[in-house]
Amino acid sequence: MSTAAMSEQFRPPLLVVRSVPRRIEGTEDTEQTGATVVKMPSREERSTRQGAQTPGGVPYLHPEAAEREVVAAMSSKIAQAALEVLSGVRSVQQLSRWLDSVCMSALTTRARLHADACKAEKRRHSPETNGNLRTLHHQPVVHSVHCSAVAPGIFETSVVIADKTRFRAIAMRFELNKGLWKVTALQIG
C-alpha cells in the first residue's frame, strides 16, 4: 500500500465550531448548560478558614504552622536516615548537620553494636529462616509523623516507620539554634 492510498483512506474528522451562548442576566449558569458551577471562596473566606479567629473576629495565622511543617518533614527524613545508619546502608557522618554531638555519638555506638550483633547472628544461624521471617520493605518507609510544639523554637516529634522486618517508633526533640533545627534527643524503639 502506498502513502497516497493510506492518506485517502484516513481522513481526520472535521472540527465543528459553535459560538458560545450568551449569558442571560438573572439566570444561573446551571440553567443554561446543566453543568455544576463551583465558585472559589473569596480571599476573606480563605483567610478565615486557614487562620483562627480572635475574640474581636479578626483572623490571624498560627505563627508555628510553617515551622511545624518544616520540622515534620525533617523528622521524617532524619528518622529514615537513622534506620539506614543502623542497617549499615548510610554513614553516621551524613547526619552530622542535623544531630548534636550527644545524639551523634549515641547513634554511632548503637550502629556499631547493631552491626556486631548482626555478624554474630549470621555466624550462629544457618541461612534457613523456617519461613517465619518476612521482609516488609527493603528501605525504611515512613508511615506517620506526629509533631507538637513544646515551647517557642522547640518541637517534639514521633515517627512510625516500617523497617525490614518490623515497625519501629522514633522520638526526636528539635531545637532551633542559630537559625538551624538540630535534633537534641533521639530515641529509636
- Does a structural domain hold residue 48? no
CA-closest candidate to residue 156, choices 167, 169, 140, 168: 169
Q: What is the CATH number of the domain that holds 164?
A: 3.10.450.50
Give 112-129 pLDDT, tens digit per residue.
Answer: 887 777 766 666 665 555
- Does a structural domain hold residue 87? yes
* Strands annotated E in the chain: 52-53, 59-60, 141-151, 154-162, 167-177, 180-188
- Does a structural domain hold residue 111? yes
- Does a structural domain hold residue 114? yes
Give 24-69 pLDDT, tens digit per residue.
Answer: 666 555 555 555 555 656 666 655 555 555 555 555 566 677 888 8
- Domain residues for 161? 65-122+135-188
| pTM (2 d.p.) | 0.60
- Does a structural domain hold residue 161? yes
Q: Specify the number of domains making up the chain.
A: 1
